[in-house]
Structure 1
Amino acid sequence: MYKTIIEPRVSETDGVGHINNTTLPVWLEAARNPIFKLFTPDDSFADWRMIILHTSIDYVSQIYFGTNVDVYTWVKRIGKSSLELYEEIHQSGTICARGKAIYVNYNKEEQKPEPIPTRIRKELEEHLYEREGEH
């Protein structure tokens, strides 16, 4: 599991006093940075490998300004050229959101998916989601 701590900003708070729903996709993507780094170590967009195919979020509980949130990212499935992530956002010990994202390892130059290299696959396997009977 990867863990990222995010400090909510005032600008992310909406008119009803909680963090706006449009903020959570940005936080989830920020927490994926260690995974992006595996595929593109120099962060070069010219060599970018991770192309998103799907994302979804279930909003479970409100999130508020003034208290940090913990974003947890697990690898749920590793395919030949794609991977599925399972994500959670927690605040004060309460789960506030669950997310799913599917990415493909993509060669922009050849315009096609490529197999995930063994060294990256091994690293991803260290972060597998292993809770039985959930999600």
Structure 2
Amino acid sequence: MYRKIIEPRVSETDGLGHINNTTLPVWLEAARNPIFKLFTPDDSFEKWRMIILHTSIDYRDQVYFGTEVEVFTWVKRIGKSSLELYEEIHQRGKICAKSKAIYVNYNRETEQSEPIPWEIREELMKHLYDEHKEM
């Protein structure tokens, strides 16, 4: 599992006093940076490989300013050229959001998906989600 600590900002707080729902997708994407780096080690957009195909978020509880947030990212499934991520946002010991994201390893020059290289696959397998394992 990958883990990212986020410190909520005042500017992310909306008129209802909680972190705006549009902020959580940004936090989830920030937590995926180690995965992006596997596919594009130099972070070059000219060589960028990860194209998002799907994302969904289930909002479970409010998130507030003033208390750090933990974003956990697991690899749920590795396909030939795609991978599915399972993510959770936690604050104060509660799961505040659950997310799913699907990415494809994409070659921009050929405009086609490509198989995930074995060395990346091996690293991703270290972060597989086990729904029966406690955190």
TM-score bracket for this pair, using the shorter chain length: over 0.9
**Structure 1 runs not aligned, ≥5 long:** none
CA RMSD of aligned residues (A): 0.9
Q: Which residue does the alignment assign to 1:106? A: 106
What SS does the aligned partner of 2:16 have? Answer: coil
Q: Which residue does the alignment assign to 2:129? A: 129
Q: Which residue does the alignment assign to 1:23? A: 23
Q: Which residue does the alignment assign to 1:115? A: 115
Deviation at residue 131 of structure 1 after TM alignment = 1.1
Q: Which amino acid aligns with 1:128?
A: L
Q: Which amino acid aligns with 2:62?
A: Q
Using the size of structure 1 for normalisation, the TM-score is 0.97
Q: Provide the C-alpha distance between the structure 2 equivalents of 1:63 and 1:24, rounded to a whole number of angstroms.
A: 9
User: Aligned pairs, how many?
Assistant: 133
1:31-84 deviation digits (Å, cap 9, x = unpaired):
000000000000000000000000000000000000000000000000000000
Q: Which residue does the alignment assign to 2:4? A: 4
Q: Provide the C-alpha distance between the structure 2 equivalents of 1:16 and 1:82, rounded to a whole number of angstroms.
A: 38
Matched ranges for 1:1-135 at <5 A? 1-132=1-132
Q: Which amino acid aligns with 1:116?
A: I
Which ranges of 4 or more aligned residues in structure 1 deviate by more than 6 Å?
Answer: none
Q: Provide the C-alpha distance between the structure 1 equivalents of 2:92 and 2:59, rounded to a whole number of angstroms.
A: 16
Using the size of structure 2 for normalisation, the TM-score is 0.97
